[in-house]
Structure 1
Amino acid sequence: MERLEPAQWYASLPSFLASACMLITDPRGAVLAVKPNYRPWWNVPGGILEADEPPHECCAREVAEELGIQREVGRLLVLDWVPPNAQRRAWFGYVFDGGVLDDASAITLQSDELDAFTFFQAGQLREHLTANTADRIEAALQARALGGVVYLHNGVRVDPVSSVSGRG
């Protein structure tokens, strides 16, 4: 078997997509959501990691860009691994805690990507978000309340962590 140089070996490894978003709630516990102008469903503030960007830095950057406010990136609440499909590679979705926003009047939406923002109660999430995003945000609310981190496999909680696919 031929040995590869480190750079070649690393280049041969699989690559993944990743996104990072922030759970921000109002004082009543409703979840801040934004309405992209390029999709029919709502989302939570966040976005796709740029090359070599750590997830927490992506989260802070995207929230600042989308909402025009600086939020401290709190602890990791959720990590979701979403398998590849016909359109894209596998995906890691990170959700960080953005705390409670007492005054939403400071929000200035990024108008080239977003049309609106609102706060949804937990029971409204599945009406307005994609199922996968709703899975993550519901898990993030639980993780925040319990002080833990939730690991999801395609939106389904993996607890305790075990081999789901049977691969070692």
Structure 2
Amino acid sequence: MTACPLPEHDTDTAGVLFRDREDRVLLLEPSYKPTWEIPGGAVDADESPWAAASRELAEELGLDRPVGRLLVVDYVRPQDGRPEGVVFIFDGGHLEEADLADLVFADGEILSARFHTMEQARTKVKPLLAARLAAVEAAHQGVSALCEDGRLAGF
């Protein structure tokens, strides 16, 4: 009898939060799912979260830039057949509407990029990411937010 291989899951991810001067957040429209995302993706084996975030910026948007300070660390419990994981969100700083015209969506994974108000963003992303958008407040306060399953952890 042959054993079925376990599905591979990306358990740690890294994303980058960009804002404009009006404090709207940059969201990407993926070609492969209905919900929008911030730039980012899976952390590969033997890769640091900050290196993964920079790599994803280059792959998804054609941006070659270092990421800023850590805004959010979110511990995500096992769910829906996925193992536990950790999500890191880094500060990307400010972009302007004009900067969006220079973005390069090379591999067809991303269809578009747009700035959204927090209210709009929360309706376009998965609930876990909506809760993680506390990163905007962390950026204003100069702190890092600690979350569990997308919600701010109370200490």
Same fold (TM over 0.5): yes
Q: Give the equivalent residue in structure 1 for 2:41.
A: 47
For 1:19-38, what aligned pairs fall within 5 Å after superposition?
Answer: 19-38=13-32
Aligned-residue offset at 1:114:
1.1
8 Å Cα contact 2:100/2:114 also seen in 1: no
Q: What one-letter code is carried by the residue in structure 1 that aligns with 2:68? A: G
Aligned-residue offset at 1:159:
2.7
Q: Which runs of 5+ in 2 are unaligned?
A: 1-8
After superposition, the Cα gap between the structure-2 partners of 1:71 and 1:27, relative to the gap in structure 1 and judged at 3 Å, is farther
TM-score for the superposition, normalised by structure 1:
0.82
Q: Give the equivalent residue in structure 2 for 1:128.
A: 124
Aligned-residue offset at 1:71:
2.8
8 Å Cα contact 1:48/1:58 also seen in 2: yes
TM-score for the superposition, normalised by structure 2:
0.88
8 Å Cα contact 1:78/1:140 also seen in 2: yes
SS of alignment partner, residue 37 of structure 2? coil
* Superposed CA RMSD: 1.5
Q: Give the equivalent residue in structure 2 for 1:141.
A: 136
8 Å Cα contact 2:10/2:42 also seen in 1: no
Q: Distance in 2 between matches of 1:61 and 1:113?
A: 14
8 Å Cα contact 1:20/1:46 also seen in 2: yes
Q: Distance in 1 between matches of 2:106 and 2:75?
A: 28
1:106 maps onto 2:102 in alignment:
yes
Greater displacement, 79-88 / 38-47: 79-88
Identity %: 35
Aligned-residue offset at 1:16:
7.8
Q: Distance in 2 between matches of 1:26 and 1:55?
A: 24
Aligned residues: 145
Q: Indicate which of 107, 114, 119 corresponds to 1:118.
A: 114
1:156 maps onto 2:155 in alignment:
no
Q: What one-letter code is carried by the residue in structure 1 that aligns with 2:67? A: V
8 Å Cα contact 1:16/1:92 also seen in 2: no
8 Å Cα contact 2:39/2:60 also seen in 1: yes
Q: Which runs of 5+ in 1 are unaligned?
A: 1-14, 161-168
Determine which structure has more spread, i.e. the larger CA radius of gyration. 1
Superposition misfits of 4+ residues, deviation over 6 angstroms: none
